[in-house]
A = this chain, B = another copy of it.
Amino acid sequence: MRILILGGDGYLGWPTAMRFSSRGHEIAVVDDFSRRRWHLRNSTDSLTPIRALADRVDAWRELSGDEIRTFVGSTCDAEFLDRVLAEVRPEVIVHYGEQPSAPYSMRSREAAIETQRTNVLGTLNLLHSIRDLVPDCHLIKLGTMGEYGTPNIDIEEGFLEVHHKGRSDVLPFPKQPGSIYHLSKVHDSHNIHFACRIWGLRSTDLNQGVVYGIETEESSSDERLLTRFDYDEYFGTVLNRFCVQAVIGHPLTVYGEGGQTRGFLNIRDTLQCVELAVANPAELGEYRVFNQFTEQFSVAELADLVRRAAAEVGHTVEVKHFPNPRIEAERHYYNATNTKLRDLGLEPVLLGEELVRSMLGIIGRYSDRVIERAILPTTRWKPGELEGELPPATSPRSQAP
């Protein structure tokens, strides 16, 4: 199949490109290198030393014999996008091409506007290009579990059967996203749903949990194929960040009580899920949502897991509770459904101490590259609160007698 990957230079995009290329598909990637530029601006970088996209593609050709085509440009550029779609004629588009960070979206007004412009208008632009050039194409869009927030009812996969005053309907699941970034994904979902309802497009919205892990089958074969690995305040997700902290002897940065529960999955499972979505496409006119995570953990549980796994390989790790820079419930009900991908055959890689130890080992190889300055949270959900030095926070549990 002809598969186009938007954001194909990113943490998930590049491994996805290699995976589908290794399966014999015809692959093209689009990227405008915004993630690399954001890092440049922050004086931060990926833990893993990643190559330029052109070098990655050369290395992949050398090792696999397969070509990955590249297009450098933005999803917000209508003319560019039309040209790519006309040239590639994709049967599937996997869309990772968005600003993916909640704290980044909250750091300033400029970043907030940039996030919603890039994500919402970029995807709206893409929907028009698909409609006009490849209306049968299956759009696989990366959404997030964070769209749902933490409602006091079970989270279903995209839709909810509602009974109200003696009548009933199946309606979009109500959303209570917790950041400007998460809002942008909610807006995307509404726009894509509309494009399927009105224009007859087909789309799978993958409401993904928090991804962890470094290596995939393809990336581990040669250092030139490594994917990026972020651990900084903005782009480092919680488990990845904890693992880096453990290796360099930095206290694990738990925000608040650590009772925040979320869905998680291994980067290998992201690839498996996207493969399952490609192999089982949505119908024309169908907008479907898969909740893409394999396990639920609280932040405190993850900190504990990393501490235990690190202890076994000789790292003494301290878990520290910092004033929460986010505004979110630290204790809440959380039970999300994730049966649709399992029903299609997903076999999860589960998280355990052994897996964490293997991550710690890989991180150890690059620990001299860690920029410590980039780890502590400086962006506040509510500006003016928690300004200045963070007080030496203690665990609410350690305060209990």
> Which residues of A does B touch, CB under 8 Å?
78, 109, 112-113, 116-117, 120-121, 124-125, 128, 131-132, 151-154, 156, 160, 162-165, 167-169, 171-178, 180, 183, 186-187, 190-191, 193-194, 197-200, 327, 333, 381-383
Contacts and interface: CB of A to CB of B under 8 A. Distances in A.
A168 B160 CA distance: 13
Nearest to A115: B124
Contact of A174 (B78, B117, B172): B172
A183 B125 CA distance: 14
A200 B352 CA distance: 40
Nearest to A169: B152
A124 B113 contact: yes
A183 B198 CA distance: 13
A162 B174 contact: yes
A381 B381 CA distance: 39
B172 A162 contact: no
For this chain, the copies found in one complex come to 2
B190 A183 contact: yes
A177 B197 CA distance: 10
B194 A190 contact: no
Given A167-B333, A178-B194, 8 more contacts: A153-B162, A154-B164, A160-B164, A171-B176, A175-B190, A180-B191, A187-B187, A198-B381
A327 B196 CA distance: 12
A333 B165 CA distance: 13
B174 A153 contact: no
A198 B173 CA distance: 21
Given A117-B117, A327-B198, A177 B162 contact: no
Given A113-B125, A117-B117, A153-B165, A174 B171 contact: yes
A333 B167 CA distance: 10
A197 to B, nearest CB: 7
8 contacts: A120-B187, A154-B167, A171-B174, A172-B176, A183-B194, A187-B187, A198-B381, A199-B382
Contacts of A117: 117, 121
A78 B111 CA distance: 13
A256 to B, nearest CB: 15
